[in-house]
Structure 1
Amino acid sequence: MAVLTISRSYQSGGHEIGRAVARQTGHTFVDKGRIYAEMKALGEKWGRLFEETDEASPTLWEKNDWQYRGFIAQIESIILDYALKDRAVILGRGGNFILADIPHILKVRLDAPLEVRVQRAIIKNETPRETAEALIKKTDNDRAGYVRSIYKKEWGDPRYYDRIIDTSEYTQEEIVQRLVTALQEWEGRATEEGRKKLAGRAVAAKIKARIFGHPKIFVPTLEVFHEGDDIVLRGVIHSPQERHEIEKIIEEAGGAFGVRNELRNRT
């Protein structure tokens, strides 16, 4: 089954459209509320970080902070797990970049002219024009900064989307139907290679997230990624205990993939 990712400018109607598509197709709607619940279930600190930093542009300190990197690893693992189960509509949080180059992932960008979005915000939130416009610009800048910092890509670049829709040009019902139809088309694009790539990415993300969440592990140079038939780990570890704990995580989460453990001891 196909998976839909939705990137949306603020007040473009992304949440309402995504929820309606999910309801019509029976897909799981993976929005802020669902991811927040998953993060809280992983631990109070992850829930707190989500409340404080979700889709916000990180500071230079945050971007390199071990806990913040762990926070991003948890979100990516959650998104990949939902995509692996199929039939998911994933809203925001860089989903199209996390799931790049997988044929059965339909990547959509929803936008609308600023003035249209300002008027929507005024009506929806009952706020003055200046407040509505400032909030839209801040939210858009935060989301763009988040993607730029984490994925080194430009949030609004059309090259990263299969469909770009101006939500001021169609009714919500028309947009929903277009996306439902596109999802049906995308179902035929699933390949064995694409599913393997998705599964490998999901396993790598799970291992990475568990390492970042482990209280006895601190590997600032850590890299974990899927390559061919293997999950590859690189970085510099500080003690035999760290290596032992990481190997336990690999054994538990490695699945059907081989593992190339290229972690080096600190000299």
Structure 2
Amino acid sequence: MPLPPRPLIPLLLRTAYSSRGVSTLRTIPLRSYSAPSHGTSPPKPGMPPRKQRKTSHPSHPKPGDADAADASAGDGTYPAAVQARSIAHFTPYPPTHTHRLLEAGPVLLISTSLGGKANLMTCGFHMPLQHSDPPLVALSLGEWDHSFSALEETGECVLAIPGCDLAEKVVDVGNCSGLEVDKWERFGFTPLPAEEVRAPLVGEALACIECRVHDRRNVSKYGMWILEPVRAWVNERREERRTFHHKGDGTFVIDGEGLDLRERMTKWKYLQD
């Protein structure tokens, strides 16, 4: 596959880029790490109690019962055939870094407006929750963010999806405060009027999603907002259509080769309309 034109992105992005596309860019070392045990939690209401691990030797299996023979090995956690397999190809990985393995969606610009003053922030922690009735998106935005007060008071925002050619600007937006600088003017983003919310659209974005706060019950505990998209826009004229994704450590990956597997999604045909 020929290498596409090199995008205008910082060096740390270029070094991650490969002509093999997403299959190479998103390769993750197969690692595991066991978090420290904090005891056994009680069963949830309505759930059967957890089975206690056997402390005595299990009874002898019946002749010819291979499954029972496997189950009698070790402490009963795994069949003998599984217990004998090596995990030497895995290496420990800190649970506190697992967000780097669970790559979220594309890096976003969050547009808000309070008292007639618009602001922008960069966000990498978000996820879709449901497709319809209504569509919902979860967003991580805490009191440490200047945009928090605007979202809390107005209950509105715009999720703007930038192309990878804007990566440098988007990262810079996330490394300064709207308390000190007008980010729209400083980084050359164009505010456009939205139809359903007061926060402006971002004129240079690939797409913009106008949102209202649907549920804020987890905001105080987790900084997690549940948003309902009420209007969405896509810029069909934009040439650079690849997005970029934060790996959680200051490095990013760019969308690469796409895979069309719709014919295999037999259980989810209704999502392809």
Higher fraction of strand:
2
TM-score (norm 1): 0.22
Larger RCO: Structure 1 or Structure 2 (Cα < 8 Å, ≥ 6 residues apart)?
1
Higher fraction of helix:
1
